[in-house]
Homo-oligomer: A and B are copies of this chain.
């Protein structure tokens, strides 16, 4: 995967004269590298998005009783009102612990090839099981989650409706499947860039088009391509020049922890750049608040290029055209705790 994408980037750099392509050829080039966010959620193999399942997933996504403390829900760190994350360098979890990495946005996450900064979860269902159990995040257990959900009759009925024909539908796996179904609906179509890609020349101004050309021709698009402008492959952070320890802390070796392969040290998933305007601070360390600074760091670290100020500004202007329409989200009505609901345990672990 990695090799293929780098080769494509080289080919791109050779094929297009920097910043001088006409409007149509600019779009033609962009169409070979990117695609628009669709209007409707994608089909997920083995997880049909029925109304009952998406509704169950909505309830679970906002359900703080999936955490031991009864305080933290998926939405706490992946806040759908705040670009799908928490505007924190790294998240605050159980017992006010500091999480190890910046929370990625849930918006359009369904389009990523794998989940987490190190890609350790193959899909959103697998991802959903992680934070629920992580001691530093929600600090619960599958047994506690199932006991909690089974203690509330409205949840049992909703699981039965979402997973018809199953004898014992209230399971940890089905919880994750339902959350994935809801999260698949969290997509943001109709960004200005997508309108441009579809043929609307007025959707981007000249500076934004200049930024798009630079983004493709400088090599950014090599890693940040596809529908999500990233999220598809893994790359060493500091491919050319390692950034400082404040941005790339020595203790977090990235994908190496997953693969235990030496070449995966400090390798991370290329961040998806959709709605990047809404997802500061940047990088897995959450160390950089300014999008301008993040772009400049990428230039030196990944491309070995000192981008000029006006190039940075043009690329940032372009990146802001990737902000899509946030879907309207109804807050779910969650059932009351009952006498058999495991009590909140804010001080465990």
Binding site for B on A (CB under 8 A): 62, 64-65, 69-71, 76, 79-83, 86-89, 92, 95-96, 98, 277-278, 280, 289-290, 326, 328-334, 336-337, 339, 343-344, 346
Interface of A: prevailing SS: loop
Q: Is the CB of B330 within 8 A of A92?
A: no
**In the complex, chain B residues whose CB is within 8 Å of the CB of A278:** 336
The 3 closest A-B pairs by CB, nearest first: A96-B96, A329-B331, A278-B336
Name the CB-closest residue of B to A98: B346
Alpha-carbon distance A326/B336, docked complex (angstroms):
13
The smallest beta-carbon distance between A320 and chain B, in angstroms, is: 10
**In the complex, chain B residues whose CB is within 8 Å of the CB of A82:** 64, 334, 336
Interface residue from B95, B96, B289, B333 paired with A81 (Cβ < 8 Å): B333
Alpha-carbon distance A35/B313, docked complex (angstroms):
61
Interface residue from B80, B88, B337 paired with A70 (Cβ < 8 Å): B88
Alpha-carbon distance A92/B345, docked complex (angstroms):
11
Q: Is the CB of B290 within 8 A of A81?
A: no
**In the complex, chain B residues whose CB is within 8 Å of the CB of A329:** 330-331
Q: Is the CB of A346 within 8 A of B71?
A: no
Name the CB-closest residue of B to A331: B329
Knowing A96-B96, A329-B330, A330-B331 are in contact, say whether A336-B88 is a contact too (CB < 8 A).
no
The smallest beta-carbon distance between A282 and chain B, in angstroms, is: 12
